[in-house]
Amino acid sequence: MMKIYRLITVYIFVLFSSFSFAQVHKAPAYPLITHDPYFSIWSMSDTLNAAPTKHWTGADQPMIGMIKVDGKTYRVIGKEGKISESILPTSDEKTYSVSYTETKPTEGWQNLSYNETNWKNGKAPFSSNQKSAGTLWNSADLWMRRTFDLNKTDFNKLFLKLMHDDNIEVYLNGTEVYQHIGWTHKYEYIPLNNANLKKGKNILAIHIVNTAGGAFLDAGIVNEPEIKTNANIIEAKQKSVVMNATQTIYNFTCGPVDATVTFTSPLLIKDLDLLSRPVSYVTYSVKASDNKTHNVQVYFGASTDIAVNSPAEEVVAKKYNSSSLNILKAGTTAQPVLQKKGDDVRIDWGYMYVATPSSEKAVEYISTASQAIPAFVSNKQNTNITTGKNLVLNTSINIGKVGAEAKETYFLLGYDDIYSIQYFHQNLRPWWNKSGKETIENQLSKAATEYKSVMQKCDDWNKKMYNDLVNAGGETYANLCVLAYRQSIAAHKLLQSPQREILFLSKENFSNGSINTVDVTYPSSPLYLCYNPELLKGMLNGIFYYSETGQWKHPFAAHDLGTYPIANGQTYGEGMPVEESGNMVILTAAIAKAEGNADFAKKHWQTLTTWTNYLVKEGFDPVSQLSTDDFAGHLARNANLSIKAIEAIGCYGMLAKMVGKNDVVETYTDTAKNMAKRWIAYDDLGDHFALTFDKTDSWSQKYNMVWDKVLDLNLFPKEVYEKEIKFYLTKQKEFGLPLDSRKTYTKSDWITWTATLANNQQNFEALIDPVFKYTQETPTRVPMSDWYETTNGKQVGFQARSVVGGYFMKLLDVKLNK
C-alpha cells in the first residue's frame, strides 16, 4: 500500500509541475543583456530605474528607458552614469610627461619650489612591461613630479585618478593626500579636497615602491560635474520583476498606463546560430489601466560606454538605414582589436548597435549624456554628434493612442566584435560570422524579422527547462538554476577553430581572467551535458589541440589556454596535474554517456591514455599541489582530489569498453576499484571521511564522488555517500555547507554536486535551500558569486562565472539515470 501511495504522490507532483513556470523575483544582480564576457549588462539594484546599469565587472554601461504618457515622462530603465572631466589627464586619455628619479631625493621633493634640475624627464605610464610602458621602470623606488596650471579651483567633486603597483604616497602641493600599501589592477578614484589646489601652478608628487612582481604608475586628477536632475521626470513605480531562462521582465505603473519592459537574450542552448547571434531585445508593452485612451511615446538610450574599456576613450558614432532598419552605431576611434587582455577589462574594439524596424518610424539622435533625456522630454530630438566621450545612442517611438488593449514595440541592441579571440596566434571571428561573409546588419535584420518566432521559442524553452528542473529537484532547485542559466552561457564565447572544430571558450571572471580554464569547464559542465554536449566539446577541443600539437609538452593536461581573449597557451603560473587530467578524462566520459557513444573519446584516445596513466601513477595520494579550489592553497594528500583521480581512471575503463578496447577495460576498472577500497581505508574517520589522508580532525565536501553516482561507475559503496551526507548536515551554516573544515566560506557549485549524492529529497533540499537563501539575501549586489561566506552570505571573491552551470548536476543525474 505504501508503494502505491508513493507512486500516486510522484504522479501528482509531475502532473502539477508540468504546468509550473518560473517565478524567480529576486537575484543578487539581474541579467539584462547577456551574450559573452564583453557584451554583458546587468542591473545591480532590485529596482531597475534606481541605478545605472553596469557591465558584470561593475563598470557603468548605462541604458536609459523612458515612457511619455500624455506629455508626462516616466523613467523605467536605469540612471545616468557618473561622468568625469579631466583636470589632469592620465595616460589612457592623453600622453603626458613628468620629471622623475630612481635615486632618493633630498628633503622637500614634494613641494612646488623644489629644484628638480637633475631629475629625468619621461612619458607616463611607468611600467615594468615594455609593451605598456611610456617609460620602462625596473628599479625598486620611483619619485615622480608633475606640475600643472589651473585658472580655477571651484570644482564640484575632485578625485585623484590612480593606478599603481605597489606601495604609494601621493602629495598635492606638498600635502600628503593619499597613501596605500599594496597595488591596484585598475584606476581607483580617491576623493580630494579642493583646498589642496590653487590657481596658477600646482604640483602632484608621488613616491612609489615596487616590492615584488610587476611595477606600474599612472596618476591624474578628475572632476565629477554636478548632474542636474530634470524635475519633469517622474520615477515609474516598479510593481514586480520576474526572471526565467532567457528573460528578465519588469512591470511598472506610469500614471494611468501599465508598462512591461522585457529584456530578452535568446540564449537557446540547442540552437547555436541563435545562441551566437549578438543581439538582444528590449521590449516595451503598454496599456491603459483606467479605461481611457492615452498618447504614449517610448524611449531607449544606450551609452557608448558599452563600447569602451574606459570612459576616457573617444568614440565615433553614426546614424544610417539598412535592411529595413533604422540603425545607430558607435565604437572607439582607436579600434585596438584584441590589444587588451586581463580580468577587469571591457571591450574597446568593434561596434555597438541600436536598431528598430523602419516601419516604427523611430526618431534617432546621437547626443552627449547630458543632452539625451532633455531632448526626449522637450521633443527637440535633433542632435547628431559624431565624435566624443560618454555619448548616447537615442531612439524614441511614438506608439500613439493606447487603451485597454496592450501595444508593443521593441528595440534591438547588438554588438559586432569583428574578431573575438586570438587562438594560437590566429584571430578568430565569432561563430555567427565564421565564414567572414556575414554582416551585423544582416544579423540585426534577422533578429527583427524573426522577432515573434524567437519570442515563442524562448517562451517554449523557458517552460521546458523549468519543468525539467522542478521534476528533477523541486521548485527551489529550479529557481536556483534559472538564476544560473544566462550567467553561465554568457561567460563564454562561441567560435569555430581553424581546424573547423567548435570552440566554446570561457573567461575566468574576477578570478584571474584566464581563457578556457579546465577547472572552470569542469564545474560548468552539467548544464551543457544536460542540453547540448557539443558545447562541452567546444570547451575541451582547445585543450586537446594544445597537447596533441606538441605545444603543451607535459604528460598531464594544461590548466588554461591563456589570458582572455588571447588563447596562445597557458599563462597560469603553475599546473594542476591531477586536477586537470582528471577533469578532462571525466568530462570526455560524461560526453560519451550523454551521447550514448564514445566517438569523441576515440578521436583523442592516445591523449586520454597518457593522462590516465599519469593519474594511475600520481593520482591516488597526491603530492602537495593546487586543485580547482586553489584559493585555499596547496594541499598534499587531498582526499577529494584522490577521488577525482579514481573516478577518472574508472571513466577510462568505461570508455575503453565503449570503444571496444576490451583488453584494457578490466585493467583500469580494477585499478580504480582497488584504489577506492584503499581510499576508504586511508580516509575513514568513523562518522565521516577526512580532508586529507593524514588529518584526523578534518573534513571536506567530497563533491568529486558525484560522478560515481551520475555515471553509474559504482566504484565506491553507496554507504560512503550516505555517511558523508549525514555528517554534512551537522556542519551546515545559515547560507550553506562550508567547503571544508579549514574555513567557513563555500563554493555553491560544489554544494549542488554534494547535494546530488543525497539519496532522498529531504536531504537534497536541506543542502540546496541555504544556497538559494544566499541568492535572495546576500548583501553583495553583483552577478552571482560562487565563492561566499556561509555565515553572512557576503561574497569572498569571483562573480559572473560560468561555473554556476554546475547547479544542473541534479538534473544531469536524473537525465542519465532515468
Segment (H or E) for 364: strand 363-368
pTM as predicted:
0.93
What is the pLDDT, as a whole number, of residue 22? Answer: 61
Strand partners, 395: 300, 364
Cα dihedral across residues 182, 186, 192, 194: positive or negative: positive
DSSP string spanning 584-633?
HHHHHHHHHHHHTS-HHHHHTHHHHHHHHHHHHHHSSSPPSB--S-GGG-
What is the pLDDT, as a whole number, of residue 17? Answer: 41
Name, in order, each residue with C-beta under 8 angstroms of 86's C-beta and a sequence gap of 6 or more: 93, 94, 220, 221, 222, 312
Residue 162 half-sphere exposure toward CB, CA atoms < 13 A: 27
Q: From the CB of residue 521, how many other CB atoms can be counted at a distance below 10 Å? A: 28
C-alpha–C-alpha distance, residues 420 and 276, integer Å: 12
Instruction: Quote the DSSP letter at residue 355.
Output: E
Name, in order, each residue with C-beta under 8 angstroms of 662's C-beta and a sequence gap of 6 or more: 656
Could you list the beta-strand ranges (E) of 497-537: 502-506, 514-515
Please check whether residue 225 is in contact with residue 83, taking contact to mean a CB–CB distance below 8 angstroms. Answer: yes
Residue with cell 536541506: 766
Helix segments in 184-309, DSSP class H: 272-276
Q: Which amino acid does the sequence have at 294?
A: H
| Contacts of range 777-782, beta carbons closer than 8 Å, 24 or more positions apart | 777/735, 778/28, 778/735, 780/28, 781/28, 781/29, 781/44, 781/45, 782/28, 782/29, 782/44, 782/56, 782/58
Residue with cell 586536477: 579
- Of 170, 203, 205, 163, nearest in space to 187 by CA: 163
- Of 509, 25, 449, 34, nearest in space to 268 by CA: 34
Strand partners, 756: none
Phi, psi for 809 (deg, rounded to 5): -60, -40
C-alpha–C-alpha distance, residues 780 and 28, integer Å: 7
**Residue 453, helix vs strand vs coil:** helix
Residue 337 Cα distances to 314, 344, 490, angstroms: 15, 17, 21
Please check whether residue 65 is in contact with residue 372, taking contact to mean a CB–CB distance below 8 angstroms. Answer: no
C-alpha–C-alpha distance, residues 496 and 506, integer Å: 14
Cα 146–chain centre separation:
38
Phi, psi for 42 (deg, rounded to 5): -135, 155
Please check whether residue 278 is in contact with residue 44, taking contact to mean a CB–CB distance below 8 angstroms. Answer: no
Q: Which amino acid does the sequence have at 249?
A: I
Packing angle between helix 518-531 and helix 577-595, nearest 10 degrees?
10
Residue 499 half-sphere exposure toward CB, CA atoms < 13 A: 13
| Strand pairing category for 407-416 and 120-123 | unpaired
Packing angle between helix 577-595 and helix 533-548, nearest 10 degrees?
140
Q: What Rg, from alpha-carbon coordinates, does the chain have?
A: 28
Quick one: cell of 248?
Answer: 528578465
Helix segments in 116-264, DSSP class H: none
Segment (H or E) for 463: helix 451-473
- Residues (pLDDT < 70) of the chain are 1-22
Please check whether residue 674 is in contact with residue 645, taking contact to mean a CB–CB distance below 8 angstroms. Answer: no
